[in-house]
Amino acid sequence: MAKVPEASSERPAWIRRWAQENARVLFATLGRLCREPVSTLLTAAVIGITLALPAALHVLAQNVSAISYSWEGTLQASLFLKDSVSPERGRELVQSLQGRPGIARASYISREQSLVEFRELSGFGEALDLLTDNPLPAVIVVTPQRELAQAQVSRLIDELARLPEVEVAKLDQKWLERLYAILAIIQRAVLIISALLALAVVVTVGNTIRLDIENRRDEIIVMKLIGAPDGFIRRPFMYTGVWYGVFGGLIAWLLVNLALKALAGPARNLAGLYESSFKLSSLSWEAGFIMLGAGVVLGGLGSAWTVGRHLSRYEPG
């Protein structure tokens, strides 16, 4: 009965020793990097710039999407009503459409309003005076919700076209298809560039750790002579790569935010020229943490790859 508490007390002690050893090596490698600020900063800056590029492209894609999905007056469906539909029924239909899922806004344009607008915009006012009857139908202008996907917008327009009061439903479908095609290309380009730059981070960290291993060659051989396990020898190099990833992620976060602040003013002025309330969106906290985590993971991968390839070469002989 007395052996159970001894076994249970040994396990927490082992875990505590393991945590203390890892914490010691973690902060020891940090201190070693801080004693070489110039080389550490240069390596971290290279990693930071490399991480900042895909992050900046991601933010750019988000802002392009926000601009493209600003459908106020751009992506609208026109429901041309039948001549038999009265203005009262047309306004009732607008009220019912405004509460329909997928529709952000609906407005009614009477036949008289359509004629006035056509007269003002077309320049055929004198020709219209010759007509005895108003040839233009009443129209309901429907604005789809901005978060709808392409298939959802198409399905919504098909449903509206089948309403008994609607004669024809029109939507600039080609413009919509071009919009989604452009956004798909941008998103695919961001993924490809991110993968290539992630590989560049792994190679950068790996090359830096390789030079560090070569500089500490004698120290590694001595540790192997006294029987140090491989895990003990690997650990400082692994944490060095992790620290490079942390520093690179912080520099990338700083660079992206500085770039966005520098572009915020010109973007606001350009939006004002188009009478738009668009504002350049910044890097979210979630994206910042993902970028920092990516730096840590890539730094660790670069270290593990290099340590596994080069550490076995140094054997006491």
Please indicate whether residue 27 or residue 114 has the higher confidence score (pLDDT). Answer: 27
Q: What is the average pLDDT across 168-193?
A: 79
Fold of domain 77-171: Alpha-Beta Plaits (3.30.70)
Q: For residue 2, name the pLDDT band (cuts at 50, 70, 90).
A: very low
* Residues linked to residue 79 through DSSP beta bridges, in sequence order: 140, 169
Residue ranges, CATH 3.30.70.3040, the chain: 77-171
123: which DSSP letter? S
Q: What is the average pLDDT across 268-292?
A: 77
With a CB cutoff of 8 Å and minimum separation 6, the contacts of 119 are 125, 128
Q: In this model, does residue 254 exceed pLDDT 90?
A: yes
Q: In this model, does residue 63 exceed pLDDT 60?
A: yes
Confidence at residue 11, expressed as pLDDT on a 0 to 100 scale: 56
Q: In this model, does residue 130 exceed pLDDT 60?
A: no
Q: In this model, does residue 305 exceed pLDDT 60?
A: yes
> Structure tokens of 96?
């019912």
Q: What are the φ and ψ backbone dihedral angles of 297, each rounded to 5 degrees? A: -65, -45
Q: What are the φ and ψ backbone dihedral angles of 216, each rounded to 5 degrees? A: -110, 25
Give the burial string for 25-42 (b: 16+ CB within 10 Å, else e): bbeebbeebeeeeeebee
Q: In this model, does residue 285 exceed pLDDT 90?
A: no
CA distances, 127 to each of 122, 132, 164, 218 (Å): 11, 11, 32, 96
* Contact (Cβ atoms closer than 8 angstroms) between residue 249 and residue 48: yes
Confidence at residue 246, expressed as pLDDT on a 0 to 100 scale: 94
The pTM for the full model equals 0.65
With a CB cutoff of 8 Å and minimum separation 6, the contacts of 271 are 277, 278, 279
Q: For residue 1, name the pLDDT band (cuts at 50, 70, 90).
A: very low
Q: What is the average pLDDT across 55-74?
A: 68
Q: What is the average pLDDT across 75-104?
A: 86
- Give me the sign of the Cα torsion angle 112, 113, 114, 116: positive
Cα angle vertex 179, ends 175, 183, to 5°?
Answer: 170
DSSP 223-272: HHHTT--HHHHHHHHHHHHHHHHHHHHHHHHHHHHHHHHHHHHHHHHHHH
> Structure tokens of 242?
């992790």
Q: In this model, does residue 128 exceed pLDDT 80?
A: no
Please indicate whether residue 244 or residue 144 has the higher confidence score (pLDDT). Answer: 244
Strand 77-81 relative to strand 166-170, pairing: antiparallel
Confidence at residue 71, expressed as pLDDT on a 0 to 100 scale: 47
Q: How far apart are CA 196 and CA 298, in angstroms?
A: 12
The edge-to-edge listing of strands for the beta sheet with 103-109 is: 103-109, 139-144, 77-81, 166-170
* Contact (Cβ atoms closer than 8 angstroms) between residue 283 and residue 260: yes
* Contact (Cβ atoms closer than 8 angstroms) between residue 256 and residue 52: yes
* Contact (Cβ atoms closer than 8 angstroms) between residue 102 and residue 152: yes
